[in-house]
Amino acid sequence: MAMMDNALTKAWVKLVALGFCTAALASVHLAQPAWRLLAGACVLLLAGAKARLILGQYLGLKSSRFWTNVFDLVLALFLVAAFALFAFAKGG
Amino acid sequence: MTNRISPQEKSSVLDELPGELMMWVLIVSEILVFGATLLAFLAVRITDPARFAADQAVLNQVAGALNTLVLVTSGYCAARAVQETEAGRKAMSSRWVFAACGLGTVFLVIKGFEYWAKFSEGIGIETSPFFTFYFLITGFHAAHVVAGIVILLLVRGSNARVMETAVAFWHMVDLVWVLLFPIIYVLR
């Protein structure tokens, strides 16, 4: 039980930390388009990391390697699509 | 987390999913709906990125970031509620459920203030494509938060399996928000 508490608490601390990272990125105003693209990619990566933590630790998917991989793939595809659309708006 | 059958009896990968299969069906369908809507938002953004950026600048990022902290913490409380139920400590589980619901209510209050601020400035669902998406997506999400609070309160004191299923819905609400917030509020 204590081990489960620790794992859950660690997940929460990581989520909060990732949230602060996102907030820090959001507060930075970048003039160069290339830097804005990079910042956008980082924001999406942070979102993906948070989503993985919730799926794995809160929802308990970490107990299944197969489903972790499936959701990782779906998440990755979604984030790549999101970044592609975001980048196209910048460059288009 | 409870699995439906023991490791020795698992006959398919579906059995590896923790909790109820039908809740996972619901979770996946909700994620697909929100995911498609968020991608549609980004696609429409391509038609007028300058206007989208100008509208996004009006959003209260601090409120959004605060709501992220609120929701992930409420998810933690809900997960602890399940643990306490599995350990047979129903009274403690109830307290964690109330904490999760309380934080969910805080989320709705903050969201309510955000909406009120927009309406006060004359901004509504028809102001622009950005705000059409903003109000529809965040409003739909807020409706799920309301449903999640009701569900949690209804299953308070139930057995571990029921608690786990209800809490899984709450984690889905959390999951959607951590993807929604960066795309609507932050990406620019």
ipTM of the complex: 0.91
Give the other-Cβ count within 10 Å of B95's Cβ: 16
Kindly report, residue by residue over B154-182, the tens digit of the pLDDT: 999 899 999 999 999 999 999 999 999 99
pLDDT score recorded for residue A45: 97
Say what the pTM is.
Answer: 0.91
pLDDT at A33 over 90: no
Query: For B13, which residue in chain A has the nearest alpha carbon?
Result: A66
Query: For B2, which residue in chain A has the nearest alpha carbon?
Result: A60
Question: Is A12's CB within 8 Å of B73's CB?
Answer: yes
pLDDT score recorded for residue B12: 81
Taking the C-alpha atoms of residue B90 and residue B98, their distance in angstroms, rounded to an integer, is 12
Q: What mean pLDDT comes out for the span A68-82?
A: 96
Residues of A within 8 A of B1 (CB-CB) are: 60, 63
DSSP letter for A54, please.
I
Residues of B within 8 A of A41 (CB-CB) are: none
Residues of chain B with pLDDT under 70: 1-11
Taking the C-alpha atoms of residue B74 and residue B71, their distance in angstroms, rounded to an integer, is 5
pLDDT score recorded for residue A76: 97
Nearest to A22 among B52, B175, B182 (CB): B182
DSSP letter for A62, please.
G
Kindly report, residue by residue over B44-67, the tens digit of the pLDDT: 999 999 999 999 999 999 999 999
pLDDT at A55 over 70: yes
Residues of B within 8 A of A3 (CB-CB) are: none
DSSP output for chain B: ---SS-GGG--SGGGGSSS-HHHHHHHHHHHHHHHHHHHHHHHHHTT-HHHHHHHHTTS-HHHHHHHHHHHHHHHHHHHHHHHHHHTT-HHHHHHHHHHHHHHHHHHHHHHHHHHHHHHHTT--TTS-HHHHHHHHHHHHHHHHHHHHHHHHHHHTT--HHHHHHHHHHHHHHHHHHHHHHIIIII--
pLDDT score recorded for residue A92: 42
Q: Find out whether B182 and A47 touch, Cβ atoms under 8 Å.
A: yes
